Amino acid sequence: MTRLIGRREQIATRIVFFVSGFAMSAWAPLVPFAQQRAAIAEDTLGLLLLCLGAGSIATMSQASALAARFGCRCVIMAASVPLCVALPLLAVVSSPTWLAVCLLVLGGSLGAIDVTMNLQAIVVERASGRAMMSGFHGLFSLGGIAGAGCVTAMLGAGASPLGATLCVVAGIVVALTVAWPHVLADRSRESGVVFAIPRGVVLFIGALCFVAFLSEGAILDWSAVYLTSVDRMDPAYAGLGYAAFALAMTIGRLAGDHIVQRFGGRTVVVCGGLCAAAGFGLATLAGSWQSSLAGFALIGLGCANTVPALYTRVGRQSLMPEHVAVAAITTLGYAGILAGPAMIGFVAYATSLPAAFLILLVLQLGVAAGGRMLSFRGG
Question: How is the chain split into domains, by residue range?
Answer: 7-182, 200-373
Percent of the chain beyond pLDDT 70?
95
pTM of the model: 0.84
The mean pLDDT value for 199-223 works out to 88
Among the four given CATH numbers 1.20.1250.20, 3.40.50.12160, 3.40.50.300, 3.50.50.60, the one describing domain 200-373: 1.20.1250.20
Say whether pLDDT at 302 is over 50.
Answer: yes
For residue 265, pLDDT beyond 50? yes
Q: Which amino acid belongs to residue 123?
A: V
Can you tell me the mean pLDDT for 304-325?
Answer: 87
Span 292-314, mean pLDDT? Answer: 93
pLDDT surpassing 90 at residue 337? no
User: For the ranges 97-111, 180-194, 358-372, which has the lowest average pLDDT?
Assistant: 180-194
Mean pLDDT of 222-226: 84
pLDDT recorded at residue 25: 87
Confidence of residue 1 (pLDDT cuts 50, 70, 90): very low
Contact 320, 190 (CB under 8 A): no
- Note whether 7-182 and 200-373 share their fold: yes
Measured torsion, CA atoms of residues 298, 299, 305, 308, in degrees rounded to the nearest 10: -170
Q: What is the mean pLDDT of residues 145-151?
A: 87
Instruction: Tell me the average pLDDT across 156-160.
Output: 90
Q: What is the pLDDT of residue 2?
A: 44
- Please give the CATH superfamily to which domain 7-182 belongs: MFS general substrate transporter like domains (1.20.1250.20)
Least confident of 86-100, 237-251, 271-285, 296-310: 237-251
Judge whether residue 191 has pLDDT over 60. Answer: no
Average pLDDT (33-47) is 81
pLDDT of residue 317: 82
Q: What is the DSSP letter of 158?
A: T
Q: How confident is the model at residue 145 (pLDDT cuts 50, 70, 90)?
A: confident
Per-residue pLDDT at 188: 63
**What's the rounded mean pLDDT across residues 134-145?**
91
pLDDT (tens digit per residue) in 362-377? 999 999 999 999 877 6
319: left (phi over 0), alpha (psi -120 to 50) or beta: alpha
**Is 230's pLDDT higher than 50?**
yes
Distance CA 149, CA 25 (A): 9
What pLDDT sits at residue 185?
A: 84
Q: What is the mean pLDDT of the chain?
A: 88
Q: Is the pLDDT of residue 205 over 50?
A: yes
Average pLDDT over residues 168-197: 81
Q: Which residues contact 369 (CB under 8 A, 6 or more apart)?
A: 273
CA dist list (Å): 102 to 34, 55, 352: 12, 10, 36
- Checking if the pLDDT of 339 tops 80, the result is no
128-148: average pLDDT: 90
Percentage of the chain lying above the pLDDT 90 cut: 52
Predicted confidence (pLDDT) at residue 240 exceeds the cutoff of 70: yes
Banded pLDDT at 324 (limits 50, 70, 90) = confident
Please say whether the dihedral angle defined by the alpha carbons of residues 314, 318, 319 and 322, taken in this order, is positive or negative. Answer: positive
**How many angstroms separate the CA atoms of 210 and 329, rounded?**
8
Residue 211 has pLDDT above 50, yes or no: yes
Tell whether the torsion through CA atoms of 285, 343, 300 and 304 is positive or negative. positive
Asked whether the predicted pLDDT for residue 105 surpasses 70, the reply is yes
